[in-house]
Structure 1
Amino acid sequence: MAVGSAAAPPPPHVVASRLKEEVGAPLLSSAGVRQKYDTVVSVVRKSACGRGGDEFDVNDDDEEGGVSAVTYRVDERYKLVELLGQGAYGIVMAADDGDTGKAVAIKVIENAFAHIAFTKRTLRELKILRHLHHENILGINSIMTHGGVEGFMHVFVVTDLFETDLGAILKTSQMLTMEQCVFFLYQVLRGVKYFHSAGVVHRDLKPRNLLVNFNCDLKICDFGLSKLILEDRDGFEKVPMTARSMCTRWYRSPEISCDCKDYGKPVDMWSVGCIFAEILTKKPLLPGESNSHQLELTLELTGVPSEDTIRKIGNDKLLELIRETDEDWEEPINLMEIFLDSLVKLDEANADHYSYGSEEYPAEVDIIDKLLKFDPDDRLTVQQALQHRLLKNFHRDDDEPVRNLIPMGEFEFERRRIDQLCLRELIHREMLRYYPDQYRSYSASPGFMKDSEVAARYPLLEPGECFGVDRPAGGG
């Protein structure tokens, strides 16, 4: 089957092209990046290729501690190469696309209907990514299922292949240059600007969700925990958003740690600040071991917030923690205590520019300081961050595209007490959209209803009701 596309590919990134010409490629050591794969390839046992396409077996631990094999089959156009990784929600394989000649990644979302929260997460990500077409966001090339609308259990998502992720790079001994660090930050902000303009909050930005290739190209991935900001839409009542279950703990904003339900785009900006701090030091900035510990580390960094801020986002746990705080938390720490050594190593030629006693922070630290404000209203917006002096050699408004708000009709399921039958139908439709001829035929059938009409058959959620809540995210 020919793979369709929801939109034309994004335009070339002018600044990125200039940087590569000046610095040269590759910008990252292939040896350091390749380490990610070598430890996991051995779990794959390749099967014979049949007429239905390539097959692969994946070893997995069964409930009794033994090992079982699960076999998956993909479309015949793809030749599977190796296993890239396994996680709680599935596996990712590298493959060669016989139609295009390009290397791709195939993400297998295993047992997509095992739990309604997981199914909603899958549908949400597929729908959002169909509308996001940007150079710094990992888009979907195609979706595959097997077994028809009533029989498929797994969802296969085809994307571009990236060699590694930023989290893996930061765990290697490879040294980055300051220009590479800033270029990574710029690309993250460029992608965030685009999906924020679409009304999307990612809610789980972290180094592992930033894919990188040898040339330092970066794409944001994993929109499974993302949400559309419903309160900004006319005609849509605000749906409460679960807080602490979103966002991996180390990159979790104070309002998330405080279980605040009224939050939005600033949660992503806090995560960006944590990520850039980790890029500079190669260590997590706030590695909390529990939610309470995360709040303690946050207060140590930012100082105790004002009474107005406490009333705005605080809860009983925050108030209790502040009452018990020692005087060292009254004021934020001098961030140069954290970053001075790293800045000197990254920029040895300008080491004299960095010191504890400067009247203002150097640009690299100043942007972190302005992103990591306890009060979300005090944090830089993504546009303000892009205009920061650190990014003066990168920022160009005409090369940082935005888009209209994503239409809310397709996300009616977020406001309904839907069941797996409805979700199965909607995921099947998402797959068909990548095969235009099939989708046209399907949508022309008698009795066809729009996605919003399919979901509208189910009762609305009650005020304050959360239906199909994701499980909490852990640390790093």
Structure 2
Amino acid sequence: MSDSTPAVDETVTGSTSRPTLSNAAEPSTGGASPPAATPNWNERHQFSASGTQFLVDKQYTPVKSIGSGAYGIVCSAMDTVTQKKIAIKKISAAFDDLIDAKRILREIKLLSHFKHDNVIRLVDMVNPLTAAQFDDVYMVMECMETDLHKIIYSKNELTDEHCQYFIYQILRAMKYVHSSNVIHRDLKPSNLLLNGNCDLKVCDFGLARGTNDKDDYELTEYVVTRWYRAPEIMCACQDYDRKIDVWSIGCIFGEILGRKPLFPGDNYIHQLNLIFGTLGTPSDADLDWITNAKALQYIKNLKKKPSMPFERVYPKAPPQAIDLLSKMLVFNPANRISVEDALAHPYLKALHNPKDEPICPTTFDFEFEKQANTKVGIQKLMFEEIEKFRPGVVNPIL
């Protein structure tokens, strides 16, 4: 989400157990409960948010505009049936670009598949009443008050307890997501939503892919915001795996510690130089995984640089935080720590509980993407997702 309209007063307070964000709006509800009676899905009303017209069920009363998210405008609203606060994302002209439409469908299917405390939950979708209305897509989700980007760049102190709790929850979420054979591929602070209790939820799964999928849905170089890209992405290697998410978490970790981006590259070359300026130029043994000949030759021709210890980069960080960070930000993915091992690291000892770090009971199937090649094909699959929330509604394009 954008920074234009902060959802809460972002004053941060610490605690001896779990940290909180003071003066926040009501905490996340954990998802809307089923209504006591079947609502009338044909009753609509219209309102404006961020200059965009929303046409949704009467049971959703607008509260405030939150801003722009991936592909859409987001506002908070009150569900008058469940009396819970929710967020509504409107994606206008959702099917005009087939690549974007496929990403939107992918995210919706993934959010419907995932059921985890640290992954944002999709609680409803608004069914179109006419074919013209099916140009837009409305996603109804849990409402969170802010995101990690806003918290990092607020002027308030972030304690080590905050840092531990944020990193723990990201790892806990990714253990679950990865167990479903899904790689997020776009982890960054603005995709990590927070409420007043510092509960964290991962969002924006539009660029996700399967761990066993060798076909790229998008051009590799554009996946993941540059500052959080793993070396595997930078070196255009097709066989990257879930370790790319660990690298992104490491970059986020460093950004929390330093209150500024760790590797804010302006372009591909600058990004690699920033990485090597901290990690040092990799040895030949740490380059044997690179299959892209041009990338390999470029790195081998670079002037050798020594590493800069993370203790110097973050002199106030606890030793255990530095140790975990150094294990996440390893150039060679084979030597990078796994999510499971990161959860068990001593830095997170106070929070780690293997019995409360679930895996997904079923893997996610990306086979639907083979059918999503036309506007009508994507709309058909999208409507199937709407029917999961609203059984019996009529598809206006059939």
Matches of 1:281 and 1:240 in 2, distance apart? 33
2:23 is aligned, of 18, 30, 43, to 30
- Contact 1:144/1:155, CA 8 A, preserved across alignment: yes
2:310 is aligned, of 328, 335, 348, to 335
Matches of 2:296 and 2:171 in 1, distance apart? 33
Residue 24 to residue 406, structure 1, CA distance change in 2 (3 Å)? closer
- Contact 2:60/2:77, CA 8 A, preserved across alignment: yes
- Contact 1:145/1:154, CA 8 A, preserved across alignment: no
1:225-247 per-position Cα deviation (integer Å, ceiling 9, x unaligned): 1112234xxxxxx4245421211
Corresponding letter in the other structure for 2:46: E
2:72 is aligned, of 70, 73, 90, to 90
- Contact 2:52/2:73, CA 8 A, preserved across alignment: no
Residues 1:75 and 2:30 are matched in the alignment: no
- Contact 1:90/1:109, CA 8 A, preserved across alignment: yes
| Structure 1 match to 2:9 | none
Residues 1:55 and 2:24 are matched in the alignment: no
TM-score, with structure 1 as normaliser: 0.72
The Cα RMSD (Å) is 2.5
Residue 435 to residue 208, structure 1, CA distance change in 2 (3 Å)? same
Structure 2 stretches lacking a partner, 5+ long: 1-13, 27-41
Matches of 1:218 and 1:386 in 2, distance apart? 16
Pairs within 5 Å for 1:94-113: 94-113=76-95
Residues 1:380 and 2:337 are matched in the alignment: yes
Pairs within 5 Å for 1:225-240: 225-231=207-213, 238-240=214-216
| Structure 1 match to 2:38 | none
1:416 shift after superposition: 5.3
Matches of 2:329 and 2:137 in 1, distance apart? 37
Q: Which runs of 4+ in 1 moved over 4 A?
A: 20-25, 148-151
Residue 368 to residue 76, structure 1, CA distance change in 2 (3 Å)? same
Residues 1:273 and 2:255 are matched in the alignment: no
Residues 1:302 and 2:279 are matched in the alignment: yes
1:417 shift after superposition: 7.1
Matches of 1:139 and 1:308 in 2, distance apart? 43
| Structure 2 match to 1:121 | 103
- Contact 2:49/2:64, CA 8 A, preserved across alignment: no
Residues 1:420 and 2:375 are matched in the alignment: yes
Matches of 2:126 and 2:370 in 1, distance apart? 27
Which of the two has higher C-alpha Rg? 1
Corresponding letter in the other structure for 1:54: H
- Contact 2:181/2:364, CA 8 A, preserved across alignment: no
Q: In structure 2, the residue corresponding to 1:230 is in which secondary structure?
A: coil
Matches of 2:173 and 2:71 in 1, distance apart? 24
Q: In structure 2, the residue corresponding to 1:30 is in which secondary structure?
A: coil
Q: In structure 2, the residue corresponding to 1:313 is in which secondary structure?
A: coil
Pairs within 5 Å for 1:439-454: none
TM-score, with structure 2 as normaliser: 0.86
- Contact 2:170/2:202, CA 8 A, preserved across alignment: yes
| Structure 2 match to 1:10 | none
Matches of 2:23 and 2:206 in 1, distance apart? 29
Q: In structure 2, the residue corresponding to 1:105 is in which secondary structure?
A: strand
1:22 shift after superposition: 5.2
- Contact 1:254/1:374, CA 8 A, preserved across alignment: yes
- Contact 2:98/2:373, CA 8 A, preserved across alignment: no
Corresponding letter in the other structure for 2:215: V
- Contact 1:54/1:80, CA 8 A, preserved across alignment: no
1:308 shift after superposition: 4.3
Q: Which has the higher helix share?
A: 1
1:311 shift after superposition: 3.6
| Structure 1 match to 2:348 | 391
Identity of aligned residues (%): 38
Residues 1:172 and 2:154 are matched in the alignment: yes
Corresponding letter in the other structure for 1:28: L
Residue 314 to residue 285, structure 1, CA distance change in 2 (3 Å)? farther
Matches of 1:28 and 1:317 in 2, distance apart? 47
Q: In structure 1, the residue corresponding to 2:53 is in which secondary structure?
A: strand
1:148 shift after superposition: 4.3
